[in-house]
Amino acid sequence: MQLHGAFTALTLLLAATVMLPHAVQAYEFDMVFQTKCIMEDVGEHEEVQGNYYAYQREGAGQAVPIDARFEDPQGVLVFEKQGSATGEFSFISNGEGEYKLCFTAKDYHTAQGTRIKMKWSTGVEAHDWQAVAKKDNLNVIQVEMRRLEQVVQTIHLELQNIRRKEERMRDINESTNNRVAWFNVIVALICIALAAWQLWYLNKVYG
pLDDT per residue, tens digit, the chain (207 aa), is 444 444 444 454 444 444 444 456 677 889 889 999 988 888 777 888 888 999 998 866 789 999 999 998 888 898 999 999 999 888 888 878 889 999 999 999 999 989 999 888 776 555 555 655 566 666 777 666 766 777 777 777 778 778 888 888 888 898 899 899 999 999 999 999 998 898 888 887 776
pTM: 0.57
* CB count in 10 Å sphere of residue 92: 12
Please, are residues 97 and 73 in contact by the beta-carbon 8 Å criterion? Answer: yes
Q: What is the pLDDT of residue 182?
A: 92
Q: What is the pLDDT of residue 131?
A: 58
Q: What is the pLDDT of residue 130?
A: 63
C-alpha to C-alpha distance for 122 and 50, rounded to whole angstroms: 9
Q: What is the pLDDT of residue 133?
A: 56
Q: Whose CA is closest to 42, among 98, 121, 110?
A: 98
Q: What is the pLDDT of residue 6?
A: 46
Residues in the chain: 207
Residue type, 8: T
Q: What is the pLDDT of residue 149?
A: 75
